[in-house]
Amino acid sequence: MKMTVRLRYAPSPTGHLHIGGARTALFNYLFAKKHGGTYILRIEDTDQARNKENAEQGFMEGFRWLGLNWNEGPQVGGEYGPYSCMERLDIYQQHTDQLLASGQAYYCYCTEAELEAEREELAAKGELPRYLGKCRHLTAEDRAKHESEGRKRTIRFRVPEDKVYSFNDMIRGTVEFESNGIGDFVIVKSDGIPTYNFAVTIDDALMQISHVARGEEHLSNTPRQLMIYEAFGWPQPLFAHLPLILNETGKKLSKRDESIVQFIEQYAELGYLPEAINNFLALLGWSPTVEQEIFSLEELVEQFSFDRVSKSGAIFDKDKLAWMNGQYIKSADLDRIVDLAAPFLQSAGRIGAEYDRAWVSQLVALYKDGMLAVSEIVPLSELFFTDGVAYDEEAKAVLAEETAPLVLKAFRDKVLALSEFTAETIQAALKEVQKETGIKGKGLFMPTRVAATGQLHGRDLNQTLALLGREKVAERIGKLIEL
């Protein structure tokens, strides 16, 4: 019987959409689509103290931008909703009551000071800190006494003793945990809100999640979740724990590491293309079966499998990402890049709300093949928006060459005489200067470029001069001739 494939990504709305979370979401999406399954977005918002306003909306905007559209979840709906934890408290309560009634869970009245003392005592003995079950066997009278004293209570899961919990991880193979090293864990906090392990297991089971793919930092959560599956008699899903993302020194990537841009909205703001982000993230820890680096989302779906995901950490190579984004910009439709570039030029005060789209399109086309991010259009095109030109020592050396004045005067005369000032007429004018002066190659083109732009190197000279315009080119060269 064919398995119904259902995967979910369940972020906590405690901040912005991080590249690690986006990769996890992408892997879930790719596997679901590969197998004709359902991809679900669910919001794990039980950590009320850390939840950020508008974070949930930010996640959804980020996923929409990436093209990772969910089949069930917020704004979409589905038969297994609601899709945020805080809207499912009555469901968790029903299951809590069931565990309490069966004796598989119990009330705990230990204070934080008592728990800390217990942890310190175990650590001093060299043992793994865990809850030793002080409240496991409280009588009704004991509970009444604690409550009369105003003690807050949590609910703990009664961990079976002397049992090994194992599962076959789709990436790591067989993984085993001994129950005696875990200790009875909290499933409902003193404020009545379920803990992550309790809520996520109930939601995964009731939403019939077939595969749970998540970061390896969740590996230690798995035995607790297996215990909850077992307690309710639910079948467990298949698990896949993804490798860590590492920085360029091979250490775990920290959100405080400012050497790497880490949030999806920042990449959008820098002018990265979503397909480049998806392509790059897919290759962080996963290898395709073909010798290829550039993949469309459809091609990634076709290629993806968990058995080609590595156990070891994946290095985040920011230069590789920039290169890849440049490849996508180069192959993108010009109109799309113009639409993305115009807001950057507007923010920099280079163009207004109303602008000459034809001219801006030519400007973007000039630099499109060399940009690693669309935001680079601003520094790259600076020479078109300044009144004067500053010449550094290398530029001055070019202009000081013996033949430079002859070339510049001849070219300026041609510029002023042209009926049209286009890349084609400029090219023809330079050829005429070459014939008249006998100067060619660098001796012809270098002083012309330097005089008009202040740069020794740049994009196509004819197109650059045409975009600068006759007036600006003639004025800049004229000032040098007059010196």
Known catalytic residues are 255
Lookup: tokens for 357: 């789209």
93's enclosing H/E stretch is helix 89-102
Strands 173-178 and 164-169 turn out to be antiparallel
Q: Which amino acid is at 409?
A: K
DSSP class of 472: H
Q: Who contacts 273 (Cβ-Cβ below 8 Å, separation ≥6)?
A: 325, 328, 329, 332, 374
Please write down the long-range contacts of 345-349, taking CB distance under 8 Å and 24 or more positions apart: 345/377, 345/378, 345/381, 348/378
What's CA 233's distance to the chain center, in Å?
A: 37
CB atoms within 10 A of CB 126: 6
d(CA 240, CA 41) in angstroms, rounded, equals 18
Q: State residue 340 phi and psi, 5-degree precision.
A: -75, -35
CA distance 282 to 300: 8
The answer, yes or no, to whether the previous bond of 13 is cis (omega within 30 of 0) is no
Alpha carbon distance, N-terminus to C-terminus of the chain:
87
Question: Which residue in this structure is represented by tokens 């069931």?
Answer: 98
Strand order across the 105-108 sheet = 105-108, 154-157, 185-188
The b/e string for 370-401 (b: 16+ C-beta within 10 A; e otherwise) is: ebbbbbbbbebbebbeeeebebeeebeebbee
Rounded Cα distance, 280 and 317, in Å: 9
Strand-pairing partners, residue 157, are: 105, 185
Q: Torsion-angle region of residue 279: left (phi > 0), alpha (psi -120 to 50) or beta?
A: alpha
Comparing CA positions, the residue from 198, 6, 186 lying closest to residue 94 is 198
Helix axis angle, 274-282 to 318-331, nearest 10°: 140
Residues 6+ apart with CB under 8 A from 72: 38, 39, 40, 41, 78, 79, 80, 81, 83, 207
* Six-digit token string for 482: 């007059």
